[in-house]
Amino acid sequence: MLLFQWKKIGSDSQNPCFCRQKREQTSAKPYNSSSSSCSPTLNPKLFVSVDMKFAVKAWSGGRARTGVLHLGSCPTPIETPSLLLSTRKGLPLFTPPDLLPSLPLPDSRLFHVSSLHFLEVPSPQTISKIGGLHQLLGLPEHGFVCIPRDSIQCLPECNSSNKFGASFETPSGRRLMKPVEYVELITSLKPNMWTTLADEVPVWVSDKRNKTSVDRTIRWLDECIELNQAGGPVIGSVVGGSSVNERERCAQEVASRNVSGYWIGGFGLGENMDERPALLNAVTDILQEEKPRLISGLGLPEEVLQGVAAGIDVFDSTYICHLTLGGFALTFPLDGVDMNASGIELTNIGSDQTKINLRATAYRKDMSPIVANCNCYTCKNHTKAYINHLLNVREMLAQTLLEIHNTHHYLGFFRSIRAAIKSGNFEQFRQKFVESRCYHVAAEAAAAAAFM
């Protein structure tokens, strides 16, 4: 077992940070004090750069592309298509901050943060005093993307939205967010990117309601840009429901504004997956090519592939969260090579070729890791039998270990996507992937929705 010690990294030694330096330890050696040598005080006046640059790098025949995202606070640029990790109040649900460096870098540094998690405490004044998200969360080298909707706790409540603001269900109850207080909160959080306030509606609303949502979203876009005192990168929100015309209209308006990127909303709210390509393509064909496209609500692997095919660069997915809460661990092969040829038919307990249900008694004595040559903390240190036990006795460590593995694995999926695009065969990759799955996406989505 290796012993870790906190150590300052880099020449800029003002940042308290999580970096680990491994020390060898033999079993007979008496332990040493594990005192940290990181800087002892939080520096509220520390300036964290939130500059953002994006460049498209490669295409794969259609709209799918790779890109590079340079975020001021991140020491290493992040390749796209990439995944935003789900958080609650800025930190992952279960993965402790000192284990974050064990996740794949730099891709694991992109976090989705919902400003709606900060409606109560601390106040915007206190958050500003502390120095914004990077200081608040002790993660100065991370990239934070603020999108109010988190698809788990914070969902748009379109019936309560009105001309003054967008309504959301939040942990603090139903709230109406108006542009002024929305931007005030963003200003205190100082994220690397933030989406303008949008009026998201599901596909079954009336045409009139849908049109109104586009009108409001554009108006709030302009208000947010005007109120943006801090000057941080603004991501323009595009809505339009299931109307190609409205989608196009909204995209045109947003594309003509001075924004640093785009966020496409209104998906993952119960629409038919088959409807999406037409709507997505209509939008991405209009948006400026060299700016990043973000999307929420396309969480499952097939949905991500759908989005990549339409030219989306960054995905906000709750897949990992739902898997983790349900006791599932991802096992699908990442390189087209079957890593887990166990031959056991496990379909009737929710396990299949893509994931396993660690609550199943089949794993009671299984002393192997979740995935044979996975390099994540969980697979390097623990077995299916142990996680099975933790789930049975309802210990939180189960979720911690599962979240770490699932995050690692899903980030690996995104790496495979990028590799396929770079080598020009994304469409083959996508087709092969979809065919190899032996269950219906609808069943998966229903199961995932059941955990919400």
Partner 1 sequence: MALRFEVLGRFNRARAARLTLPHFVCQTPLFMPVGTQGTIKGLTTEQLEDIGAQIILGNTYHLALRPTSELLDELGGLHKFMNWPRALLTDSGGFQMVSLLHLADITEEGVTFQSPVDGKPMLLTPEESIQIQNRIGADIIMALDDVVKTTTTGPRVEEAMDRTIRWIDRCIKAHKRPTEQNLFGIVQGGLDPVLRDICVKGLVNRNLPGYAIGGLSGGESKDSFWRVVAQCTAALPEEKPRYVMGVGYPLDIVVCSALGADMYDCVYPTRTARFGTALVPEGVLKLKQKAMAEDTRPVDPTCDCMVCKNYTRAYIHCLVTKDAMGSQLLSYHNLYYMMKLSRNLHSSIIEGRFPEFVREFLQQMFPKGDVPEWVCDAMEVAGIDISSCCTPFSSSQD
Determine the angle formed by the axes of helices 441-450 and 319-326, rounding to 10 degrees. 70
Residue 61 or 96 with smaller CB distance to partner 1: 96
**Cα 176 to Cα 163, 205, 220, distances in angstroms:** 11, 20, 14
**Residue 171: DSSP 8-state:** T
User: Does residue 414 contact residue 107 with C-beta atoms inside 8 Å?
Assistant: yes
* Whole-angstrom distance, CA of residue 175 vs CA of residue 165: 9
112 is in an annotated binding site: no
Question: In whole angstroms, how close is the CB of 117 to partner 1 at the nearest point?
Answer: 8
| Residue among 70, 129, 257, 415 that touches partner 1 (CB under 8 A) | 129
User: Does residue 124 contact residue 185 with C-beta atoms inside 8 Å?
Assistant: yes
Question: In whole angstroms, how close is the CB of 122 to partner 1 at the nearest point?
Answer: 4
Using CB under 8 A as the binding rule, whether residue 400 contacts partner 1 is answered as: yes
User: Contact region for partner 1 (CB under 8 A) — 95-103, 288-296, 327-335, 437-445?
Assistant: 95-103
Please provide residue 10's backbone torsions phi and psi, each rounded to the nearest 5 degrees: 75, 170
| Residue among 76, 123, 206, 368 that touches partner 1 (CB under 8 A) | 123
Centroid of chain to Cα 55: 20
405 is in an annotated binding site: yes
CA dihedral for 319, 322, 326, 327, sign (positive or negative): positive
Using CB under 8 A as the binding rule, whether residue 120 contacts partner 1 is answered as: yes
Chain position carrying tokens 């379109």: 158
Using CB under 8 A as the binding rule, whether residue 35 contacts partner 1 is answered as: yes
Residue 121 or 337 with smaller CB distance to partner 1: 121
Return the CA Rg of the chain. Answer: 22
Residue 217 or 378 with smaller CB distance to partner 1: 378
Please provide residue 153's backbone torsions phi and psi, each rounded to the nearest 5 degrees: -105, -30
**Burial label, 46 (beta-carbon count in 10 A; 0-12, 13-18, 19+):** middle
Question: In whole angstroms, how close is the CB of 432 to partner 1 at the nearest point?
Answer: 36
Using CB under 8 A as the binding rule, whether residue 173 contacts partner 1 is answered as: no
**Residue 197: DSSP 8-state:** P
Helix (H) / strand (E) element for 407: namely helix 397-422
Using CB under 8 A as the binding rule, whether residue 13 contacts partner 1 is answered as: no
User: Does residue 192 contact residue 153 with C-beta atoms inside 8 Å?
Assistant: no
Using CB under 8 A as the binding rule, whether residue 329 contacts partner 1 is answered as: no
Q: How many residues does the chain have?
A: 452
| Residue among 18, 194, 262, 328 that touches partner 1 (CB under 8 A) | 18
379 is in an annotated binding site: yes
Please provide residue 373's backbone torsions phi and psi, each rounded to the nearest 5 degrees: -115, 35
| Residue among 62, 171, 202, 333 that touches partner 1 (CB under 8 A) | 171
Residue 125 or 159 with smaller CB distance to partner 1: 125
Using CB under 8 A as the binding rule, whether residue 111 contacts partner 1 is answered as: no
Question: In whole angstroms, how close is the CB of 255 to partner 1 at the nearest point?
Answer: 38
| Residue among 58, 205, 397, 419 that touches partner 1 (CB under 8 A) | 397
Question: In whole angstroms, how close is the CB of 31 to partner 1 at the nearest point?
Answer: 6
Residues that bind partner 1 (CB under 8 A): 1, 3-6, 16, 18, 27-31, 33-36, 38-40, 42, 44, 88-89, 91-94, 96-99, 118, 120-123, 125-126, 129-130, 136-138, 171, 364-365, 367, 377, 381-383, 385-386, 389-390, 392-393, 395-397, 399-401
